[in-house]
């Protein structure tokens, strides 16, 4: 595996000595947090980053650091993308396809977390619709732009442990809504999407993986009150095996490290169709109390195919 990296490794440490000159990389969610840091690190090593964001004014301000730090031909362009609106997703994808410039890497970084019950512009449960279906349509519509040898990195979460996808009731029409169950479903979907995308495209040398960035304090947690956060950390620590380290927050550069590691540093065959955390490929762990690892249901190939078919039916589009 590339590099002696771990939970505390930063983006700059992971990319030390890596030259990304001439690489084009799409990163969604570049108006704050992990998206900005991911774009900054990549551009600082020569990559040209296309950053997607719902609010372009906010993104322009947030990404000033990306432009300021770009080196060796690196740079940044911004495109409008609201993942909670398939009209916006399709418009963004169509514009990218029309431009015809190809990508070496796509990092599906944007998302929402543990928000109150709501629906997207198309009537999908907010977290599943935004985190999964928005990226599902975007990535598949621009699949022709992936260069041979390109990669897709989907940002999932250890929160996938909260729930498997529910293909019978994805919008909570018949199920009581719970914020973290909905989040868990969407994060499991991110992993399963990577598994099936990898299967469909690896013959072209295109690989896909999913990553858990770690616990980071960003705008993603805007719906998390201090009380909810404290209760969650208390529960995590209470369920750890004896002798395991207590939960600790990562910095944003530490949180973005696994995305860039999986995208440009780790061997493609090592990460393809896998789940990565702390700059390594995670093992399957079924112990409900253990903080690390990935649940088997999130990597199941037949489950991934079923989610793909359900997603196509929901968005009314075949890929």
CATH of the domain at 274: 3.40.50.720
Question: pTM score, two decimals?
Answer: 0.91
Catalytic residue among 177, 183, 223, 297: 177
Give the model confidence (pLDDT) of 229-279 as tens digits: 566 556 655 665 566 667 576 999 999 999 999 999 999 999 999 999 999
Q: Is residue 16 situated within a structural domain?
A: yes
Q: What is the pLDDT of residue 97?
A: 98
What secondary structure does DSSP assign to 177-203, as a single string?
--HHHHHHHHHHHHHHHHHHHHHHHGG
Q: What is the pLDDT of residue 292?
A: 83
Q: Is residue 5 situated within a structural domain?
A: no
Q: Residue 197 is part of which domain span?
A: 11-313
Give the model confidence (pLDDT) of 146-174 as tens digits: 999 999 999 999 999 999 999 999 999 99
Q: Is residue 4 situated within a structural domain?
A: no
Q: What is the pLDDT of residue 245?
A: 65
Is 177 annotated in the active site? yes
Q: What is the pLDDT of residue 3?
A: 63
Q: Is residue 319 situated within a structural domain?
A: no
Contact assessment for residue 145 and residue 105, using Cβ atoms and an 8 Å cutoff: no
Structurally, the chain folds into a number of domains equal to 1
Q: What is the pLDDT of residue 237?
A: 53
Residue ranges, the chain, pLDDT below 50: 1
Q: What is the pLDDT of residue 1?
A: 44
Q: Give the total residue count for the chain.
A: 319
Q: Is residue 209 situated within a structural domain?
A: yes
Q: Is residue 104 situated within a structural domain?
A: yes
Q: Is residue 139 situated within a structural domain?
A: yes
Q: What is the pLDDT of residue 4?
A: 83
Q: Which residue is associated with the tokens 């359900």?
A: 310
Q: Is residue 2 situated within a structural domain?
A: no
């Amino acid at each position: 595996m590339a590099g002696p990296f771990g939970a505390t490794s930063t983006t700059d440490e992971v990319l030390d000595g890596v030259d990304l000159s001439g690489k084009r990389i799409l990163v969604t969610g570049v108006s704050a947090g992990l998206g900005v840091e991911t774009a900054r690190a990549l551009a600082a090593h020569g990559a040209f980053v296309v950053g997607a964001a719902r609010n372009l004014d906010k993104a322009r301000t947030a990404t000033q650091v990306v432009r300021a730090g770009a080196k060796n031909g690196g740079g940044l362009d911004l495109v409008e993308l609201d993942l909670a609106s398939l009209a916006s997703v399709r418009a963004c994808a169509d514009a990218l396809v029309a431009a015809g410039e190809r990508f070496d890497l796509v990092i599906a970084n944007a998302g929402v977390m543990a928000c109150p019950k709501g629906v997207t512009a198309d009537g999908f449960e907010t977290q599943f619709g935004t985190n999964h279906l928005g990226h599902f349509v975007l990535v598949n519509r621009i699949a022709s732009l992936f260069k041979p040898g390109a990669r897709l990195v989907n940002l999932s979460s250890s929160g996938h442990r909260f729930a498997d996808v529910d293909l019978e009731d994805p919008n909570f029409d018949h199920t009581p809504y719970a914020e973290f169950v909905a989040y868990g479903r969407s994060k499991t979907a991110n992993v399963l999407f990577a598994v099936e995308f990898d299967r469909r495209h690896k013959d072209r040398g295109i690989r896909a993986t999913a990553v858990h960035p770690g616990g980071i304090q960003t705008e993603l947690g805007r719906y998390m009150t201090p009380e909810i956060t404290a209760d969650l950390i208390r529960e995590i620590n209470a369920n750890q095996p004896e002798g395991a380290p207590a939960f600790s927050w990562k910095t944003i550069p530490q949180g973005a490290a696994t995305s860039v590691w999986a995208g440009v540093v780790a061997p493609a065959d090592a990460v393809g169709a896998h789940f990565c955390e702390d700059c390594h490929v995670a093992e399957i762990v079924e112990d409900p109390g253990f903080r690390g690892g990935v649940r088997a249901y999130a990597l199941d190939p037949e489950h991934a195919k079923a989610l793909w078919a359900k997603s196509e039916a929901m968005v009314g589009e075949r890929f």
